């Protein structure tokens, strides 16, 4: 590492430490940002490969910080302080250097937003796994699928509904999908497994909230599901009305 890069690195890390923007152990940050600076100066000198690698590393770093819940202002300031330092160190830093740093700021902001979005989505999925409504009525257990047709949500809801069936000695379950995404192959295969697995109690299943009954029935028949144990209805109200 050149004397110039070493000087910039020491100044940058010192500023971050003072402003409480390191967000990791100082030794690790120093090593990581030292590598960034080497790529930055190589990129400013015309090395397109170095520039591409620099932006990739910045994106990964800032996405991870967003996923940890670090605020956008702090993540962006990690990079923005480098620009201020370069301007302070030299009255006329290379324009190419400043342009790359400015692009690093943009990459940092976009990556933090992506990481934060993924974090919120994962937290939302986790909440849905445990808080999607499951309740017992007279001789039937009802579970309401909410959100995307993701395997972990399907598995969690069906497991919870089956547990309630076993606990109360009930052999009929209702899964309402009115508040879920459009039923897809993953959902239909879950139904197929539910009705054909020897490890699952022989419950009768009603799927309510089906948007297109004909298409759903066709998709299930294509998987070999053709049993009186399964009914498809468009509304949960139809099911509840039959129980009154």
pLDDT in tens, 1-50: 788 888 888 888 888 888 888 888 888 888 999 899 999 999 988 999 99
Residues of 146-173 as b/e, b for ≥16 C-beta within 10 angstroms?
bbbbeeebbebbbebbbebbeeeebebb
Give the pLDDT score at 153: 82
Give the pLDDT score at 42: 92
* Contacts of residue 68, Cβ cutoff 8 Å, sequence gap at least 6: 115, 119
96 and 156 part of one domain: no
Q: Tens of pLDDT along 117-169?
A: 777 666 656 656 666 788 888 788 998 888 788 888 888 888 888 888 888 88
82, 19 Cβ separation under 8 angstroms: no
33 and 122 part of one domain: yes
Q: Tens of pLDDT along 87-101?
A: 877 666 788 888 999
73 and 173 part of one domain: no
136 and 122 part of one domain: no
213 and 159 part of one domain: yes
10 and 116 part of one domain: yes
49 and 83 part of one domain: yes
Structural domain span for residue 107: 3-127
Nearest-CA neighbor of 9 among 122, 111, 89, 108? 89
62 and 106 part of one domain: yes
Give the pLDDT score at 4: 81
115 and 181 part of one domain: no
Give the pLDDT score at 243: 57
166 and 210 part of one domain: yes
pLDDT exceeds cutoff 90 at 52: yes
Number of domains in the chain: 2
* Contacts of residue 5, Cβ cutoff 8 Å, sequence gap at least 6: 34, 37, 38, 41
Give the pLDDT score at 116: 78
List the CATH number of the domain containing 20: 1.10.490
Give the pLDDT score at 35: 92
pLDDT exceeds cutoff 90 at 56: yes
20 and 120 part of one domain: yes
Higher per-residue confidence, 239 vs 149: 149
Give the pLDDT score at 53: 94
Nearest-CA neighbor of 19 among 77, 66, 69? 77
Give the chain's radius of gyration (CA, Å).
28
Give the pLDDT score at 67: 82
Give the pLDDT score at 123: 65
Name the domain boundary from 127, 151, 179.
Answer: 127
Task: Give me the mean pLDDT over the 111-122 stretch.
Answer: 76
Query: How many angstroms separate the CA atoms of 26 and 14, rounded?
Result: 9
Q: Tens of pLDDT along 185-219?
A: 888 988 888 888 887 778 889 999 999 999 999 99
CA angle in degrees (0–180, nearest 5) for 214-215-219: 120
């Amino acid at each position: 590492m050149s004397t110039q890069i070493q000087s910039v690195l020491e100044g940058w890390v010192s500023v971050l430490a003072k402003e409480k923007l390191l967000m990791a152990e100082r030794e690790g940050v120093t090593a990581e940002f030292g590598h960034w600076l080497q790529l930055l100066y190589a990129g400013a000198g015309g090395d397109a490969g170095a520039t591409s690698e620099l932006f990739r590393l910045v994106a990964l770093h800032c996405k991870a910080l967003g996923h940890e819940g670090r605020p956008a202002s702090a993540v962006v300031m990690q990079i923005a302080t480098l620009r201020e330092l370069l301007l302070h160190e030299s009255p006329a830093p290379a324009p190419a250097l400043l342009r790359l740093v400015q692009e690093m700021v943009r990459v940092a902001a976009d990556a933090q937003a992506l990481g934060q979005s993924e974090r919120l989505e994962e937290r939302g999925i986790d909440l849905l796994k445990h808080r999607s409504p499951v309740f017992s009525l007279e001789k039937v257990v009802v579970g309401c699928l909410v959100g995307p047709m993701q395997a972990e949500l399907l598995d969690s809801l069906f497991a919870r509904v089956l547990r309630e069936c076993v606990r109360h000695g009930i052999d009929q379950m209702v899964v309402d999908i009115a508040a879920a995404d459009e039923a897809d192959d993953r959902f239909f295969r879950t139904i197929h497994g539910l009705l054909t697995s020897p490890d699952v109690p022989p419950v009768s299943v009603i799927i309510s909230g089906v948007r297109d009954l004909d298409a759903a029935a066709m998709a299930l028949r294509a998987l070999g599901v053709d049993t009186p144990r399964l009914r498809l209805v468009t509304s949960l109200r139809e099911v509840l009305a039959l129980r009154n």
